[in-house]
Amino acid sequence: MTTGRPLALLAVLYAAVCSGTAVADEPDLFVSTAVSLKEPLLAAIEDFRGIPAGHRSPMIRIHMGGSVVLAQQILRGAPSDLFLSASPHEIERLADAGLVDSGSTCALAGNTLVVVVPIGGQRLDALQHLADPRFERVGVANPRTAPLGRYTQQIVAAANLQERLENRLILAEHARQVIDYVARGEVDAAIVYTTDAQRFADRVSVALEIDPDLHEPIEYRAALVGAEPPRFRAKALFEFLCSDAGRARFVESGLKPWPGTR
């Protein structure tokens, strides 16, 4: 009897916890998104929730990270109904694996890059100045985990800075971690998305806009994931994000309209 009571309590607790989740009649919807799309995606999902669904809508679970890592997780079978990538290449990888139908992807928006420094940090007028020894540590995204890292790699190569920067690069896992390093003052300069720089304007200052011709165009794409016919609600969310109203949310957040969507 002495052991029976805590067990009974546990059973009651378990039942209480489970009943909370068991009422939803549709399983959760999983959205994997490039971390730099966080705010506009949340805003678009708010709009989407406002659209009457006709039945109980599933919970929408958002998983953020570097797009390369997210694509890898989806390849390994991570639950994902929608994938929003900071580059079309990751979506192509999923399409090659048969996880994405090339007909169910759309371009959401574009972006540009800037060099940022901590508030009150060193100024610079040209990309070449990053090679100055006064920039002891330069924050960049890891090309192995985030498309931002690939774009940065292209810029560094185009500006012929590889050798001079090599030992000073501090690699971060994704776009938000790069800008966090600048905001904390741990790096003296960093290459980040323009939209992230705007969002952290109280903690970093833009030192230089980067010529978009130095890297491949930055294109955010959304894709429906899953080989079987997509779930009704996932398809509805995908179609909303790709609609003019949905894409407007991304442009409002500072992203560039992407020419020739769909």
Partner 1 sequence: MAWHALKLSFSVGMMATVIVVLSGTAFGWLLARSRFRGRELLDALLMLPLVLPPTVTGYYLIVLLGRRGLLGGPLHEMTGWSIPFSWTACVIAASVVALPLMVRAARSAFESIDARQLLAAASLGHGTGSIFLRIALPLARRGLATGAVLSFARAIGEFGATLLLAGNIAGRTQTLPLAIYEAFQMGDDRAALTLSIVLTVVSLIAMGLIARLGNRR
Residues that bind partner 1 (CB under 8 A): 68-69, 72, 75-76, 137, 142, 144-145, 169-173, 184-186
Cβ at position 170, least distance to partner 1 in Å: 5
SS (H, E, C) 8-27: HHHHHHHHHHHHHHHCCCCC
Nearer to partner 1, 55 or 144 (CB): 144
Tokens standing for 16? 């209480």
CB of 57 or CB of 177, closer to partner 1: 177
**Residue (82 or 172) nearer to partner 1, CB:** 172
DSSP letter for 121, please.
-
Distance CA 213, CA 19 (A): 55
**Least separation, in Å, of the C-beta of 185 and partner 1?**
5
| Nearest-angstrom CA–CA distance, 194 and 206 | 9
DSSP 3-state of 145: coil
Beta carbon of residue 136, minimum distance to partner 1 (angstroms, whole number):
8
Complex with partner 1: residue 132 or 252, whichever CB lies closer: 132
Smallest distance, Å, CB 45 to partner 1? 26
CA 182, 112, 215: angle at the middle one, nearest 5? 100
